[in-house]
Amino acid sequence: MVNDTHFSKLIRMSHILLVKNDKTYMMLLQAPDDEFDSERANFDIILNSFRVL
């Protein structure tokens, strides 16, 4: 979690790392802490839309 002084809410972040064919891919998902769990379905849609060949 991040407590940024520019915002009045805690932000929860999750990162996904994938290494394939000597390349590293990273996705960062973030939302206010109290909304993160309810955004899980949206995060899944985003993550499932990517294909690494």
DSSP letters, the chain, are -B--TTSSS-EEEEEEEEEETTEEEEEEEEEEHHHHGGGHHHHHHHHHT----
Task: Give yes or no for residue 53 having a pLDDT over 70.
Answer: yes
Return the pLDDT at 4. Answer: 64
d(CA 32, CA 23) in angstroms, rounded, equals 30
pLDDT band at 1 (very low <50, low <70, confident <90, very high): low
pTM: 0.70
Q: What per-residue confidence (pLDDT) applies to 20?
A: 94
Instruction: Please state, in angstroms and as integers, the Cα–Cα distance from residue 30 to each residue in 3, 20, 33, following that order.
Output: 13, 24, 9
| pLDDT tens string 5-47 | 666 778 899 999 999 999 999 999 999 999 999 999 999 999 9
Q: Which residue has the tokens 């994938």?
A: 18
